[in-house]
Amino acid sequence: MIVITHNSIDIQNVIRSAESADAGALNVFIGTVRSKTGEKKVIRLEYEAYEPMAILELKKIIEVAKAKWNLKGWAISHRVGVLSVGDVAVAVAVSTAHRKESFEACQFIIDSLKQTVPIWKKEIFEGGEEWVSAHP
């Protein structure tokens, strides 16, 4: 399962989608909205995606991970729209035969997502707002 959603993420559904009878390990990463950015108090985050391309880029990441770690199951759900502190922005779940591959694959997927998938977040904090990573 690879989805970009405008609704809140159902973590149990993400986990269920990654389950496999062949797996002995299922690893989950959940990214949430932090209350502070540096010293500034976060009011909300606004996420947007180039949805069709984001899905294609996520599929490429999964293909690489499948080749490297022999994934038995996987699921990625990324939320877009307006998110508040504590909301789940992204959930990644992978299952593999043994735990080591599941930790490695899960980390690879979230790290790659942050580097290549066309999704953007704007932080609205007390006293201003900023597109994250846009400027040096």
Partner 1 sequence: MRIQLKAFGICKDILGGRELTVEFDGETVADLRKDLTQKFREIEKLNSLLIAVNEAYAENDRVLKESDVIALIPPVSGG
Q: Fill in the per-residue mask, 111 to 130: x = in contact with partner 1 (CB under 8 A), - = not in contact.
A: --xxxxxxxxxx--------
What does the alpha-carbon distance between residue 121 and residue 125 come to, in Å, rounded to a whole number? 12
Written as six digits, the tokens of 1 are 């399962």
User: Contacting partner 1 (CB under 8 A), which of 50, 87, 107, 108?
Assistant: 50
What is the helix (H) or strand (E) element at residue 79, kind and residue range? strand 73-79
Q: Fill in the per-residue mask, 77 to 116: x = in contact with partner 1 (CB under 8 A), - = not in contact.
A: -x----------xx-------------------x--xxxx
Q: How far is the CB of 21 from partner 1 (least distance, A)?
A: 30
Bridge partner list, 92: 29, 76
Q: What angle do CA 12, 16, 21 make, to 5 degrees?
A: 145
Q: How far is the CB of 91 from partner 1 (least distance, A)?
A: 11
Reading phi first (left if > 0) and then psi (alpha if -120 to 50, else beta), residue 5 is in beta
For partner 1, the binding residues in 8-47 under the rule CB under 8 A are 31, 47
Given the complex with partner 1, which of 35 and 70 has the nearer CB atom?
A: 35
Given the complex with partner 1, which of 18 and 49 has the nearer CB atom?
A: 49
Given the complex with partner 1, which of 101 and 123 has the nearer CB atom?
A: 123
What does the alpha-carbon distance between residue 2 and residue 121 come to, in Å, rounded to a whole number? 19
Pairing of strands 81-83, 40-49: antiparallel
The binding site for partner 1 (CB under 8 A) comprises: 31, 47-50, 52-54, 56, 78, 89-90, 110, 113-122, 131-136
